[in-house]
Structure 1
Amino acid sequence: MNSQVTPRGMYLEHFGLRAAPFGITPDPLFFYPGNTRGELLAALLYAVLQGEGIIKLSGEVGSGKTMLCRMLAERLPPQVDVLYLLNPRLEPDEVLRAIGSELGLDMDGCRPDAVLRALHGELIARHAAGRSVVLLAEEAQGMPVDTLEAVRLLTNLETASHKLLQIVLFGQPELDRTLDLPQLRQLKERITHSFTMPRLPMALLPDYLACRLAAAGRASPLRFERGALRLLARASQGTVRRVNILADKALLAAYADDAQHVATRHLRLALADAPFHDGKPWYQGRVLAAALLLLAMLALAALLLWQAA
């Protein structure tokens, strides 16, 4: 199955959609508040507005961290200036310059100590104007240890009662292991709030799919066969990015089949076309296990008959 063969516009019209419901680009329009995601967003907002320490959110690849990051930026009040650190592999001096650039400062040719003074001065000025600043650092598991330490030192920029820069680290579980290193003990102690993105359980799959479809303009429920849901849950392993990829391909397969629901065969076609599929049928392991069990039972029966003879 090649998803490029089907015109996207006809696919949307077939299912009564205004937009593609299962894109993998984080779009706040498609935010799913279930599976504690709404609570996580509220907790992140509360932690940022408290303005103390460093906040950390970790989760597996494709679990929805970037979506939560975008939602956080969107929900913060207008007096909060949001900075993004999108390249985690910067050296300590480079990360300070990147933050300065986000603040609109020209730091070309400045020495590291001058960069830090300029950052401090700009943050003081924004605080005096009634504004606060939050740095959202994505893919933080990729930061070198020295860079993480430089980020920690930025939390020393403060007034008598307020931190001048609030930092939120978004990263994969490797970030947690990095923070366990002895040289990062001080950084770990500065983390006042730590959150984890949960996997999406099968029980919530219908709700998640319905939420995305409704956001895309679907006026009535779109049925996924129970077998399709089981296969989707097993193949995605609770990762919403995989759910989106497979659901999108399954809708294309259903459209090509002129169907108004998603059958198990459509999910099998989607899985065969998925970039993370290893080429083996999802049931292969179970069939092999069942065959081995049957052979063992036959061997045991033969042995019992031989002993009885």
Structure 2
Amino acid sequence: MYLEHYGLKEPPFKITPHTEFFYAGANRGATLEALIYAVVHGEGLVKVTGEVGAGKTMLCRVLMEKLPATIDTVYLANPSLSREEILLAIADDLKLELDGARSTVLIRLLQDALIERFAAGRQVVVLIDEAHAMPPESLEEIRLLSNLEHGHHKLLQLVLFGQPELDTKLAVPEMRQLRERITHSFELAPLMRTDIKEYLSFRMRTAGYRGPDIFSASAIKLISAESEGLTRRINILADKSLLAAYATGKHEVTDSQARAAIKDSQFRPARWKRGQPYLAGIALLGLGLGLGLAIPQVGHRSPVTAPHSTAKPERPAPSVQPTTTVAPTTPAAAPTTPTSAVHPAPLQTAATTPDVVSTRLTAGTELLGTANAGEFAIQLILADRDNEKALTRFLEQAARSVPLDRLYIYPTQANGRHHYGVMLGLYPDQQSAMQALKQLPGELLSHRPLLRTVGGIRKEVGEKISIAANR
């Protein structure tokens, strides 16, 4: 209805998953990359949790598109299937001839088919959406399927997508065998205000918008607070805000339209007394054009917290863009190599080093040019390249806990914007990098660091890094 008004080719804030609108900022892109790695390298059982409307289904759909062509995907959208129905659904997707086979025979047929595909160089991954709603007996069947092996290789990869209730369900003693088979756990945390600004701009421009940013800072602040960072709520509020602005002939979404959208959405009890004219405009416009504005409502929930932890208040937005932790759930072990050690004693800080950003950027470029592609680093943050003061402050903070000469900066892009990545490293393997990550102090862990390979960073920065190894 407002597409021509804003020069859009399609609605920018549909709540149904549309993979072209996948936002790779915050922890989304990093989680996708880690999921692809886990599936391709046969990591067995993987779990992804997030609040209602956090974007789990979108992530699942994008994962299906991004996996290599040698991987066959089985998508189970109905979590209420019985044990036998799960087997039948997988077998049906793999086009197996069943002829009314019983469960025991069905498992053998499935294993034979998986071995045949493995011999042909193919893998099979089962993606289970809404896994928190699975009955215990079906989860037990998932555990048994995770045991299917050929030699030293897993024949079936399984990825569970679910709400935080999945962690509660897996925490009971009866589920410990399944819980211990989960090699990686990822969390889709709510977007923060700085992420939401980028998210709104990204969705608008993906839909064809080419003008200046439409959402004012005050509107973004209101949408951020009301949505609690959940992408589905953001989409609903942004769509209604655009409609309210269109109804009054405006091109910018201000706090007035945002308040009207908030009141109409009723995610929480009504608190706003302003914005009534805009609500009336939305209603009259809808009646005049025969458009219903009924949009599914989402019950109030607090932001998602990490598995097996108590809920904490939402963390205020830092001055640099955070990343999210992408790490296995295996217990941390003491470091075994000198390279994985993180020194807690205060060392030289950025304040005592002249032009620290330029110095560490040069060091990062040289490091990425000579290091092995399989080595690991800990990506601490992505920082806006135009805010060098904030980056310098972060380096000063980090240098109180880790050696400054082990902090490296590299240029990159995220959602069309230039950033600097700050990494700590290098580490010879994933285990030593994970040990070092778990030993980071709380002020660095609060930025949600993640593990990256040198090869992955090189692909990301592309021509910006001269690979000295190829000289």
TM-score, with length taken from structure 2 = 0.57
Report Cα offsets for 1:279-307 as digits up to 9, x if no partner: 34399xxxxxxxxxxxxxxxxxxxxxxxx
SS of the counterpart of 1:169?
strand
Which position in structure 2 is the counterpart of 1:207? Answer: 198
Distance in 2, matches of 1:32 and 1:26, equals 11
Which position in structure 1 is the counterpart of 2:301? Answer: none
Report Cα offsets for 1:132-172 as digits up to 9, x if no partner: 00000000000111111101101111110211100000000
Report Cα offsets for 1:33-64 as digits up to 9, x if no partner: 11121111111111111112200010000001
Mapped pair 1:137 → 2:123: no
Identity of aligned residues (%): 50
Which position in structure 1 is the counterpart of 2:261? Answer: 270
2:67 to 76, 80, 87: 76
Which position in structure 1 is the counterpart of 2:155? Answer: 164
Report Cα offsets for 1:71-122 as digits up to 9, x if no partner: 1111100010010011101111111111111111243532111111111111
Which position in structure 2 is the counterpart of 1:253? Answer: 244
Distance in 2, matches of 1:156 and 1:224, equals 50
- Whether contact under 8 Å (2:48, 2:187) holds in the other structure is yes
- Could you list the runs of 5+ residues in structure 2 that have no partner in the other structure? 275-471
Which shifted more, 210-219 or 270-279?
270-279
Distance in 1, matches of 2:139 and 2:211, equals 48
SS of the counterpart of 1:220?
coil
1:221 to 195, 212, 219: 212
Between structure 1 and structure 2, the one with the greater Rg is 1
Which position in structure 2 is the counterpart of 1:197? Answer: 188
2:144 to 153, 157, 168: 153
Let me know the Cα RMSD of the aligned residues: 1.5
Which position in structure 2 is the counterpart of 1:59? Answer: 50
Which position in structure 1 is the counterpart of 2:221? Answer: 230
- Whether contact under 8 Å (1:210, 1:221) holds in the other structure is no
Give the structure, 1 or 2, with the largest relative contact order (CA under 8 Å, sep 6 or more): 1
Which shifted more, 49-58 or 273-282?
273-282
Aligned length: 274
- Whether contact under 8 Å (1:88, 1:140) holds in the other structure is yes
Judged with a 3 Å threshold, the aligned counterparts in structure 2 of structure 1 residues 129 and 282 are, in CA distance, closer, same or farther, namely farther
Which shifted more, 238-247 or 212-221?
212-221
- Whether contact under 8 Å (1:20, 1:216) holds in the other structure is yes
Which shifted more, 215-224 or 179-188?
215-224
Distance in 2, matches of 1:130 and 1:223, equals 49
Distance in 1, matches of 2:127 and 2:272, equals 40
SS of the counterpart of 1:23?
coil
Distance in 1, matches of 2:31 and 2:214, equals 29
SS of the counterpart of 2:79?
coil
Mapped pair 1:242 → 2:210: no
Which position in structure 1 is the counterpart of 2:85? Answer: 94
Which position in structure 1 is the counterpart of 2:40? Answer: 49
- Whether contact under 8 Å (2:44, 2:156) holds in the other structure is no
SS of the counterpart of 1:248?
helix
- Whether contact under 8 Å (1:222, 1:260) holds in the other structure is no
What is the letter of the counterpart of residue 31 of structure 1? F
Distance in 2, matches of 1:273 and 1:52, equals 45
Report Cα offsets for 1:206-244 as digits up to 9, x if no partner: 111011011101112333222211210111011010000
Distance in 2, matches of 1:120 and 1:221, equals 56
Distance in 2, matches of 1:208 and 1:38, equals 13
Distance in 1, matches of 2:257 and 2:215, equals 10
- Could you list the runs of 5+ residues in structure 1 that have no partner in the other structure? 1-7, 284-309
Distance in 1, matches of 2:212 and 2:96, equals 51
Report Cα offsets for 1:235-274 as digits up to 9, x if no partner: 1011010000000011011111110100111112212221
- Whether contact under 8 Å (1:53, 1:167) holds in the other structure is yes
1:279 to 260, 270, 276: 270
Distance in 2, matches of 1:266 and 1:101, equals 49
Mapped pair 1:185 → 2:182: no
- Whether contact under 8 Å (2:140, 2:178) holds in the other structure is yes
What is the letter of the counterpart of residue 174 of structure 2? Q
Judged with a 3 Å threshold, the aligned counterparts in structure 2 of structure 1 residues 133 and 268 are, in CA distance, closer, same or farther, namely same
- Whether contact under 8 Å (2:71, 2:123) holds in the other structure is yes
SS of the counterpart of 1:273?
helix
- Whether contact under 8 Å (2:45, 2:184) holds in the other structure is yes
Judged with a 3 Å threshold, the aligned counterparts in structure 2 of structure 1 residues 214 and 117 are, in CA distance, closer, same or farther, namely same
Distance in 2, matches of 1:49 and 1:254, equals 46
- Whether contact under 8 Å (1:52, 1:162) holds in the other structure is no
Which shifted more, 107-116 or 137-146?
107-116
Mapped pair 1:28 → 2:28: no
SS of the counterpart of 2:150?
coil
